Every structure is written in structure tokens, then in C-alpha cells.
Chain A
Amino acid sequence: MSRLRLALGFARRELRGGFAGFRIFFLCLALGSAAICGVESLAEAFLTGLQDQGQVLLGGDVSVRLVHRPADAAERAFLDAQGRVSETVSMRAMVYARDGQGRQLVELKAVDERWPLFGSPRFSPPQKLSDVIACEDDGVCGVAAEQALFDRMGVARGDLVRLGNATFRLMGALTKEPDRVSTGFSLGPRLLLSSKGLAATGLLSPESLVNYTYRVALKPGVSIAGFRAAATRAFPDAGWQIRDRHDAAPGIRRFVEQLTMFLTLVGLVALGVAGVGAGQAIMAFLDRKRADIAILKAMGAGGGFVFLTFFLQVMAVAVAATALGAAIGAALPFAVVWIYGEALPVPPTFGLYPMPILLSLAFGLLSAVAFAVPPLSRARDVPPASLFRDVVSPARAQGQNFYRAISAAAALGVMVLTLLVAPSPLFAAEFLLGAVAALALLRLLAEGLRRLVAALPRARSPLLRLALANLVRPGAATGGIVTALGLGLTLLATVTLLSGTINHQVSGALPARAPSFFFVDIQPGEAQAFDKVIHDFSGTSDYQRSPMIRGRITALNGVPAAKATVAPDAKWALNGDRGITYAATPPPGTVITQGKWWAPDYRGPTLISLDEAIAKGTGLKIGDTMTLNVLGREFKGTIASLRKVDFTNGGQNFVLVLSPGLIDKAPHAFLATVRVTDDQENALYMAVTDRFPNISTIRVKDAIAQVQGLLSSLADGVSAASLVTILAGLLVLAGAIAAGARARIYDATILKVLGATRARIALVHLIEYGILGTATGIIALGAGTLAAWAIAWSILDVPLSFDARAVAVTVLGGAAATLIFGMLGALAALSVRPARRLRSS
């Protein structure tokens, strides 16, 4: 105890002079902790916001959604008995400007007079909802649309627009729709109108793809669980999808959770990079403290005591750094709201969240122990005499196994903690393993680079020789820089390559095979006429029209879908409504992998041709049964064949194709796809939308652009996050350069004495940092390509497309950063007066 007190006293005395020797160590740890605490705090604020405002975001305590049909009288009576009910009807449709030229696919939402049960919509200019959607005496009703519609169609407030058979007046822009986030992905701007207005359009038909949503504000005494149970009991076959306010926007929640996990892992990589820097900073610090250590030892202090004294100092700094980082991170939600405010889809709930703070402190301190103990232990074992040696031949001693074990235990602690808090431990484990493997690979390559440079024949030019020698001199930071900056650049290269690959898949890979248009809601009565329009149009090809009806898979071999064991990558098929088609003969391009297609005249019990990937994910085989719910009616089908479905071709890809006989009796519309030459695209768009105002025409290019927009914002966000890692890498670089400053000033002084000009000395640094930065960039590009290839191959299942941007970002970025920091550091060596340096030695 007294030894600890004494060590504490010594540590305090050492720290009296400030943190000067620990600047890089402090900054590295603070940055890593701030990143983790910031990401986690922001996520908590958003998730709490989702929870707190679940009612507003969902628009009720519960929401019940039906496809194709409204609730029947009994169902509606049941809902009305549970509380206040608001009905909204949503569908896609084309809206036309009055001049007949401007037209736009919109996401219609028709609301009743009770909507919204919670929250309120906002319009620009400000006005009441009832005024916006009111109908005038001449039958023209008002609508409000998102600003995008005004921009794309070139219409203004007060203009008249046509929707189906009715005319509407644009009353203003819809700036806030309280339950917008619960509706998910959209292909066009929202158009808000009244139920009465929608009825006038004639767009509603039993065949149309329409969603009817009933939001219920439950009466006192009715619980959510009670509602769910009663609804399932009373209408087991209703086929409705029930959601509640505890999970108002599951898509957003999952997105926030997944993104948080990923960003936290990125934060951990930053902490890892910081750790490498911290380790170097400790070594540099001990280098400066050699005399102190030697004096302590000469006066009788044991190795353990010396270790304890310096360990306490390091940990004191680590506590201060992680606490500062946590404080900055905890303030991030406030900053985000201050900057983005109204633009956020979910308002975060302010607060100090203890978990993120504790988590970042734990991560920060464990990393500090993991990275600081090995260098500290080396000092412990170095005999006092060798501590006096100069930089020419620094003492080398291996740390004891005990200290290595402490370091390993702390590193293990970081990993266990990560797995404990990650929503997908498997992904987190893979990511961590990948990061550790990348770290090991970079260390290996750094050592390889060092050996390669050392093995090069001695350059004849003294400047090149000195530059190369600087890379391999004892105590050179080459390894640390390649590893630390390299890890950040590797992550950046991986993200850049993957985002390029996904982008290429979405845009580049598609046009060759993908249709130009999707036509939705082609009514049975107009199908022939529609076919004729397409066939008569020049430049069209690959026309395909299929019946489509929405339905849900409710059971697999009699086991309810919710209880079936399903692989994660097949869950989506059981989640909500799927498009179902039927066909007598295999549609063009069908590849049967197992079983047989039914006879063309088959009209017996329903047979199913199922996507083989979903069959694999659900464990279904030929002869197994699936229960489907279509329009509130449940029926069973037997799997007759499995098909290969290529979702990357962008065409009609039905998971389920049924045999005719039963399904074709249900009211349904058709889905059509067609490819058209680029120069005819607009003409076909105008021709179809002129002739069939009720058909939703989706231009694939527009949809792709929208998906690309989303992906690119996501990629930008992730790239921005990986910049934290780069920043950590730059700190390490700065630290390494600062640590080597003494040796550089010495070299520069001697060269000046021997007659070298500053330009020549600057050239030495330019060569050295140019080689180091470029090599680090190339190594990182290699490691990043490997990581991106592995992810593309194993997770995305697409070939990696190599992107020149990645080369530019990684290699040029690495070289530029190293050169800039290196040359800034070299300024000190260039500006030092030889006389001053010589006098001090």
C-alpha cells in the first residue's frame, strides 16, 4: 500500500509539469472515446425519440394495414369499439399538370376528417388541414404536396392538377407529415388529399394496389397487447398487418441500430489506431524519461515500482482523455439538433445517456491499458546503464509475459464488451476479426517495407540514402505510421470500393438488362389496349405483362410464419406483403432448378414455384406446403418447383409464382415491364401516361437515381465516419513526426555544417515522406481491396468493381497527408540554427 502511495506521489510530481509529453496520447484517446460516445449517444437520443414519439410517428397507439381492400363492416366495427379510428388510403398514381405536359408519379395519401389522431401536419404557407383538403362548390378539392412535386412539375400554389378523373387545386407545400416515417421508402413526392377527393378520381378499384391503414387511439382500459390478441382472435384470417407505437418505424429503428453498430465499430477502429499512436507516444515519452528512470533505478527503485509510477501517470492521463472524449460525445446530439433541426426525420430526445458514457470510458481505458502496458513494461526491464545510451543504439528488451497478459486481457475486454453491446454479435465479431486481421497484416507489411528498404542497395545519392535510412533507422516510426494511418486508409478504401461496387450494381450493371419502365395497376379491362400501345411503339423490346396481386405468407408447412425458423437473409420474404403472380407456362427467362412446372392446362389445387434462395432460407423442399393470405382469404399451396431468381436484373422477380385455378379468380391488376431505346423513352412515357392516367408509370432511371441518392448519402455518412479513423491516423503521424524531431534536427544540423543547403535537406524529407506516404497508401489500398472483395463476395454476393476514386483517395490521400505533416515537421529541422543545436550538445 505504501509502495502504491509512494508511486502515486511520484506520478503526481511527474505530472505537475502538465501533460506535455502526453499530448498525442491524450488526443488519440479523447478522439476515440468522443467518437464512440457520440455515435452511441446520438443513437440513444434517436431511439428514445422513436419511443417517446411513437404515437405521433405511427399516428396512433396501433395501426392496422390492409392491402387491396378496406376493412369490412365487422372489422371496422371491431376497430371502432377499441377507440378513436382514423382511416387513410395510400397508393401510387400519376398526377398531371393542367397544360397536359407536366406529370409526376406521386405517393397519394387520402385522409379522413379524424387524421391525424396525434401530432399535426404543417404547410407552407401555414394553413389548417381542413382548409387545405376542403372541396369547393364546383367539386374541385384541395391538395397539398411535398415541395419536390412543385419543383419537378413546374407548378405553383393555386394551380390546378388532374388526378384520375378529377381536378384538384394545389393549396400549398406539405412541410411536415407527422406519421411520415412509418410509411417507408417512396418513389415520388407525397400528395395529401381528402378521402372524398380520392373517391372522385376513380382510381380506387378492387384490382388496384391500394393500402388501407386504420390508426387507432385506444380507449382507456384497452392495452396494445389486449388489442392484438382480440384482433387475432376475432379475425384470424383478416391478413392485416398490425403495428404499435412501441415500434412505430421498425425500418428506421433497424437502420439506426445497424448504423450505430457499424459506426461504433468504426469508432473502435479509430480507438485501435489511436492505441497504436498511444503506444508510440508512450515509447517516445519513456525515451525522454530515460534519465529519470535511470536515476530512480540507480537510487534503488525496483522495476515494478518504476512500471507502477509510469503506469499511474499514463492511466491518469487516460482517465482525463476518455472523460473529455465522453463529454464531447455526450454533447453530440445537442450539436446535431442545433445544426440539422427540422430536417431530421425523427426528433431526438435530449438527455445525458449514461450507457454511452460508461461504454466509451470502458473502451477508452481498456484500450489505454492494452496499448500502453507493453511499452511501459519494456522500460521496466531495461537496466539503468543501458537507459543512458543515446539514440544510435537504443536499448531493446522484451516485456515480461505477465505484462503481455495484462495487455491481452484488456484487448480481450474490448472485444467482449463490443460483442455484448452489438445488436448483431456475429457481424461485430466478423468486423473485429477483420480489423484485427487488417492490423496484423499492416504490421506485417510495415515490417516487410522496412526490410525491403533496408535490403535495397545503398543509394549513391546521399540525400536518397539519408531519406531511405530515416525509414529504417532505430526508433523510426515507419511501422507505426504504416499501421495507424494505414488502418484508417484501409477502412476508407474499403468503404469507397464498396460504395462504388454497390453504385455500379445499381446503375452501371443494370441498363444492359433492366427494363426502362415498370407499369403498375394495369386494369384487366385495359390490358389489351395497353399491350397494343406498347407493341405499336417503335423501339420497345422485352415486353412482359404479368398478373400481380399482393398477399402474405402466413405459414410454412402449417407452422405460423412468425414462429418458423428462417435464415436472416430470407426473413424479408415473410415480412409483410409480397407480390404474387400466376402463370400457366413458365414466364420468359425462368430457370427451374428443382421439380417440374405444372401442365399448361392444370387447374387443380394450387401449386407453387418458389425462389430457390427463399426455399433454402426457410428450409422448404418440393412437396412442402405454404399458406398464403390474399385479400383476407387463406389458402394452402404445395411447392412444385424451385426457380433461380436473379434480383439484380431489375426486372419482374416474383418470389412466388402460383398455378392458375384459384388465384386468378381474385380481383387483380397487371404489372408490366418494357425496355425502350433511350431516344424513345420520353415519347413512350408521354404516350402511356396520356392514354392511361390510372396506370402508375415508374421510370427505372428515376427510381435508380433515388436509390443512388439514398446510397450515396449513406456512403457519404460512412465515409465521414471513417474520417475519424483517418484523423486518428494523422494524430499518430503527427506524434511520430514530433517524436523523431530530435533526430531530424540533429541530421539537418550536421548536413548544414557539411555544406548542405536547406533545399537539399528539404528534399531528403520530401523523398522520405513521399515514399512512406505512397507506400502506406498502396498497402492500405491492397488491404482495403482485399476487405472489400471479401465483403462483396461473401455478403453482397456481387463482383467487386474497382474504382479509380479509391486509388485516388487512398494512395494520393495517404501520400498527401504524410507529405504535408512530414514537411510541417521538417520545418523545425530546416529552421534550426546549427550553432544553437551544436551549443546545446
Chain B
Amino acid sequence: MNDPQMDNRPYAGELPALQLSDVRLTLKSLAGPVDILSGIDLTVEAGQTVALTGPSGSGKSSLLMVATGLEKPTSGHVTVAGTDITRMGEDAAAKFRLGRVGIVFQSFHLIPTMTALENVAVPLELMGLPDAFDRAERELRKVGLILRTDHYPGQLSGGEQQRVALARALAPDPRILFADEPTGNLDSGTGAGIADLIFALNAERGATLFLVTHEESLARRCGRVLRMADGKIASDSASAP
């Protein structure tokens, strides 16, 4: 528990938050190899809010997994805040994410045997922070769940679970937050509330936001919109005329 990386994060504002160069991902299937990502080149500057949209199967979630080090690309390079994570082993990638990268999933992915407070505290505890629980409580207060700290995921609604997941992702104060269809499993009202929270909390921290979504309204709230099709970035509002 002694990974005090909070105060010596190695990247400064000048370095891009995320850089992908000629990233390819090919997965094996029974029917033969399937190209999921076909040569992605992308640079996301620190502090940008980026939306990645596209139809189902276009490779959005795979791109997110490669960018977070959860999946190794077949070829190409992935650099997060100046650190090349492409060839990192599983444990090295996990350590790298700790405190630097926050992720919010469509299916929340909370640990069912832990309370809301404990779920939020997990990354802080993994970092060895002595005030993990105090900080976790503050995060829960920010997402409006201070009265639910002792509830288990099974006792929370979908929207509440996603708020816990958001608090957990943001608790270590990451420089980049990835969100994969964060409102996909929620009704429109709840989804809108979560979206507001994501943008508000992210803006408050000045972190980079990389949002995978197929909701146009959500994508439009980002400063930059990328559209994927067939494993490639088909359009990028940053480079649009």
C-alpha cells in the first residue's frame, strides 16, 4: 500500500494526455482473425473533453481498453501522459493506472461485497493513503450519496451505483477519466443527472475526459467529437474544416 504517486505525477500540462500511433487490434475468433482497430492515430491534449461515438461494433470500447492498458494492441504505440504503456505487463499497467487513470463503466462494476464507501476507498487504499476513507466520504458527498455510504451495491439503484462508480473513478484525482457509455444502462432522466455530474466534477478537477458514447446529445457536450467506423476514426471535429 505504499504507492504515494499522488504528488509526483510525472506529466505536466505540455505533454498530451493520450497518444495513439498506428494502433491495431486483431482478435482471434472461430471464424478467423477479426480486425477490431485498424491503424488508429490520435492525440488528446491534457484537459480536453473528447467524445468517441460510432455504431455498435465500430471499436469504441476496444479503443478505450487499449488506451487504458486493459488490452494490449497487436501493433502500434499507446502513450498516456508521456509514458509508453504499450508493452507494459499486466501488473505494470495496473500500477500505472493507479492514481493516474479513472474509468467508469456502463455496467458500473462495483464490488458486490463492499459498501459504497468501501468501493470508493479501494483505489485510495491501494495507493496507501492513510485518509482513504475520509476522502472516499468526501467523494460520495460530492455525488450526493452521503446517506448511502453503508449500502451495498445490491441495495442501490442503477443511477446510485453509477454515482458510486464515478466517485470511485475520480477519488484518486486522476489526470484522465475514461467513461464507457456511462449512461447506457440508465433511464434518460438518471442518465442526464450522471452526465451532468461527470462534466461538473471533471471540470472542477481540470482532468482530461475521454467519453465513449453513442448518444449524440452527450457527445455534443464535449469539446471534441471523434466518430468511429469499422475500427477507424472516420471523423474528428478537431480536424474538421
Q: Which of A's residues lie within 8 Å of B, judged by CB?
A: 391-393, 458, 460-462, 465-466, 469-470, 472-474, 743, 746-747, 749-760, 833-835, 838-839, 841
A834–B1 CA distance with the chains assembled, in angstroms: 22
**Cα(A747)–Cα(B153), bound, Å:** 13
Query: Looking across the interface, which residue of chain A has its beta carbon closest to that of B65?
Result: A835
Q: Say yes or no for B219: interface residue by CB 8 A criterion.
A: no
A392 adjacent to B71 (CB under 8 Å): no
> Are A391 and B111 in contact, CB atoms less than 8 angstroms apart?
no
Minimal beta-carbon separation of B67 from chain A (angstroms): 11
Q: Contact between B111 and A750 (Cβ–Cβ < 8 Å)?
A: yes
Give the distance to chain B from A381, nearest Cβ to Cβ, in Å.
Answer: 21
Docked complex: B63-115 residues within 8 A CB-CB of A: 65, 68, 70-71, 90-91, 94-95, 97-99, 103, 105, 107, 109-115
- CB closest residue in chain B, given A760: B126
Given A474-B112, A839-B62, 20 extra CB contacts under 8 A? A391-B112, A392-B153, A392-B154, A458-B115, A461-B125, A465-B114, A469-B113, A472-B113, A473-B112, A746-B109, A747-B113, A750-B110, A753-B97, A753-B103, A755-B94, A755-B123, A755-B126, A756-B94, A838-B70, A841-B107
Contact B105 A838 (CB under 8 A): yes
State the CA gap A756–B154 with chains docked (Å): 23
Closest residue on chain B to residue A467 by CB atoms = B113
Min C-beta distance of B48 to chain A, whole Å: 23
Residue contact A462 to B121, C-beta cutoff 8 Å: yes
Cβ–Cβ contact B65 & A838, under 8 A: yes
- Do A833 and B71 contact each other (CB < 8 Å), given the known contacts A461-B125, A466-B111, A838-B105? yes
Interface presence of B61 (CB below 8 A): yes
Q: List residues of chain A with CB within 8 A of the CB of B103.
A: 753
Closest B residue to A459 by CB, please name it: B118
B153 proximity list for chain A (CB < 8 A): 392
Given A391-B112, A392-B112, check contact A462 B91 (CB 8 Å).
no
Q: Which of A750, A755, A841 is the one whose CB lies under 8 Å from B98?
A: A755
Nearest B residue to A472, CB-CB: B113
Instruction: Please state if B94 and A466 are interface contacts (CB–CB under 8 Å).
Output: no
Say yes or no for B168: interface residue by CB 8 A criterion. Answer: yes
B95 touches A755 (CB 8 A): yes
**17 A/B residue pairs, CB under 8 Å, sorted by A:** A392-B152, A392-B154, A461-B1, A462-B118, A466-B114, A469-B113, A750-B110, A752-B94, A755-B95, A757-B95, A760-B126, A835-B70, A835-B71, A838-B70, A838-B109, A841-B107, A841-B109
Residues of B within 8 A of A473 (CB): 112-113
A-B pairs with beta carbons under 8 A, tally: 86
Are B123 and A754 touching (Cβ within 8 A)? yes
Chain A residues with CB under 8 Å of B126's CB are: 462, 754-756, 760
* Residues of chain A contacted by B68 (CB below 8 angstroms): 753
Interface centre among A393, A460, A466, A757 (most CB of B within 10 A): A757
Question: CB of B122 within 8 A of chain A?
Answer: yes
Q: Which residues of A contact B114 (CB under 8 A)?
A: 465-466, 469
Shortest Cβ distance from residue A120 to the other chain B in the assembled complex, whole angstroms: 70
A746: chain B residues at CB < 8 Å are 109
* Given contacts A466-B111, A835-B65, A755 and B118 within 8 Å (CB-CB): no
Shortest Cβ distance from A387 into chain B, in angstroms?
Answer: 16
Residue of A466, A753, A755 with most chain B CB atoms under a 10 A cut-off? A755
By CB atoms of chain B within 10 A, which of A460, A746, A758, A835 has the most? A835
Collect the chain A residues with CB atoms within 8 Å of residue B97's CB: 753-755
Which of A469, A472, A750, A758 is B91 in contact with, Cβ under 8 Å? Answer: A758
B112 cross-chain contacts in A, Cβ below 8 A: 391-392, 473-474, 743
A393 touches B105 (CB 8 A): no
Please report which residues of chain B, range 148-205, place their CB below 8 angstroms from some CB of chain A when the two chains form the complex.
Answer: 152-154, 168
CA distance A271 to B214 in the complex (A): 56
A473 to B154, CA, bound (A): 12
Residues of B within 8 A of A465 (CB): 114, 118
Rounded to whole Å, the gap between the CB of B96 and the closest CB of chain A is: 8
How far, in angstroms, from A458 to B152 measured CA to CA in the complex? 13
Name the residue of chain B whose CB is nearest to the CB of A462.
B125
Query: In the bound complex, how far is the Cα of B161 from the Cα of A621, in angstroms?
Result: 83
A838: chain B residues at CB < 8 Å are 61, 65, 70, 105, 109
Among B1, B118, B154, the residue within 8 A (CB) of A458 is B118
Question: Is the pair B122, A462 in contact by a Cβ cutoff of 8 Å?
Answer: yes
CB closest residue in chain A, given B125 = A462
Known: A465-B118, A752-B94, A756-B126. A470 touches B154 (CB 8 A): no
A565 to B183, CA, bound (A): 86
CA distance A293 to B115 in the complex (A): 31
Chain B residues within 8 Å of A461, by CB: 1, 125
- The answer for the CA separation of A757 and B99 in the assembled complex, in Å, is 14
Residues of B with C-beta under 8 A to A752: 70, 90, 94
B72 CB, nearest partner CB in chain A, Å: 9
Verify A834–B70 contact, CB threshold 8 A: yes
Which residues from chain A contact B98 at a C-beta distance below 8 Å?
Answer: 754-755
Specify which chain A residues have a CB less than 8 angstroms from the CB of B122 in the assembled complex.
Answer: 462, 751, 754
- Per the bound structure, the CA–CA distance linking A470 and B111 in Å amounts to 11
Tell me how far the C-beta of B164 lies from the nearest C-beta in chain A, rounded to whole angstroms. 12
B95 touches A753 (CB 8 A): no
User: What is the minimal beta-carbon distance from B57 to any residue of chain A, in angstroms?
Assistant: 12
Residues of A within 8 Å of B168, CB to CB, are 754
Closest to B152 in A: A392
Chain A proximity mask over B113-133: 1 for CB below 8 Å, otherwise 0: 111001001110111000000
How many angstroms between the C-alpha atoms of A742 and B223 in the bound complex? 39
* Cβ distance B42 to chain A, nearest Cβ, rounded Å: 18
Tell me which residues across on chain A come within 8 A of B94, comparing CB atoms: 752, 755-757
Shortest C-beta distance, A536 to chain B (Å), equals 80
User: Can you name the residue of chain A whose Cβ is closest to the Cβ of B5?
Assistant: A755
Residues of B within 8 A of A458 (CB): 115, 118
The interface residues of chain A lying within 8 Å CB-to-CB of B118 are 458, 462, 465
Nearest residue (CB) in A for B153 is A392
* Shortest Cβ distance from B25 into A: residue: A835
Q: Give the chain B neighbours of A841 by CB distance below 8 A.
A: 107, 109
CB of A160 to closest CB in B, whole Å: 79
Find chain B residues with CB under 8 A from A757 CB.
91, 94-95
Query: Nearest CB to that of B133 among chain A residues?
Result: A460
Q: Cβ of A747: which chain B residues have Cβ within 8 Å of it?
A: 111, 113
Q: Give the distance in Å from the alpha carbon of A743 to the alpha carbon of B115 in the complex.
A: 16
Chain A contacts of B125 at CB under 8 A?
Answer: 460-462
Question: Which of A474, A743, A752, A754 gathers most chain B CB within 10 Å?
Answer: A754
- The 8 tightest CB contacts between A and B, nearest first, are A755-B98, A469-B113, A392-B154, A835-B71, A393-B154, A757-B91, A462-B125, A392-B112
CB distance from B209 to the nearest CB of A (A): 18
Residue of B nearest to A458 (CB): B118
Which among B61, B62, B154 has the greatest number of chain A C-beta atoms within 10 A? B154
Contact B91 A759 (CB under 8 A): yes
- Within 8 Å CB of A760, what residues of B? 126
| B45 → chain A closest CB, angstroms | 24
A773 → chain B closest CB, angstroms:
20
Contacts of A474 in B (CB 8 A): 112
Do A758 and B99 touch (CB < 8 A)?
no
User: For B71, what are the chain A residues with a Cβ–Cβ distance below 8 Å?
Assistant: 833, 835
**Residue of B95, B122, B127 with most chain A CB atoms under a 10 A cut-off:** B122
Q: B12-41 toward A: CB 8 Å interface, digit per residue (1/0)?
A: 000000000000000000000000000000
